[in-house]
Amino acid sequence: MVIFGTKGTNNTQTQTQVKEPVLLSKPRSVQDAASLLKPHRHQLQLERIKELAHVPAYYYEHFYLPALESVAEFVQLLPATRMVRFNKTGGLLDFSLRRTSETLAWYRRENPIRQKDPEKISQDDAHMTWALFSAALILGLGYIPTQYW
């Protein structure tokens, strides 16, 4: 099985989009979230996200972690073709995790944690943290169908 994407080139004379198949990488089997998130660099990002989210363990395990696992299983080992640094096997997952942790880090710089106990954070702070986390995590996933299907 060969996986093909499309590469667009503009033809300035006719202003039409010409598509040609591009081999993405050698075919790989579908992996589960545990194996995709197993590398040390991903574990470091997951720890950072958990720390920056500053939510009770129950919320992290039942809301944040399943979202992270779902995104990992969706993107698999696809490259982030629009980002040179992440245009490699597994780059889209790397980029999603990095963007999520950087977004939460920015939020924490602007809104420092006032309650040391995650159980006592305000509902507004919990909602804003979730909104930023989920938006950063899924940003750009729409590129997958446009790039590869």
Residue spans of alpha helices (H) in 54-90: 57-59, 65-75
Q: What is the pLDDT of residue 27?
A: 61
Q: What is the pLDDT of residue 21?
A: 46
Helix, strand, coil percent values for the chain (each to nearest 5): 55, 10, 30
Rounded distance, CA 75 to CA 92, Å?
7
Three-state secondary structure call for residue 84? helix
What's the pTM value of the predicted model, to 2 decimals?
Answer: 0.75
What's 33's DSSP letter?
H
* H-run or E-run covering 91: helix 91-110
Residues in the chain with pLDDT < 50?
A: 1-7, 9-23
Angstrom distances, CA of residue 90 to CA of 68, 80, 120: 14, 8, 37
What's the one-letter identity of residue 26?
K
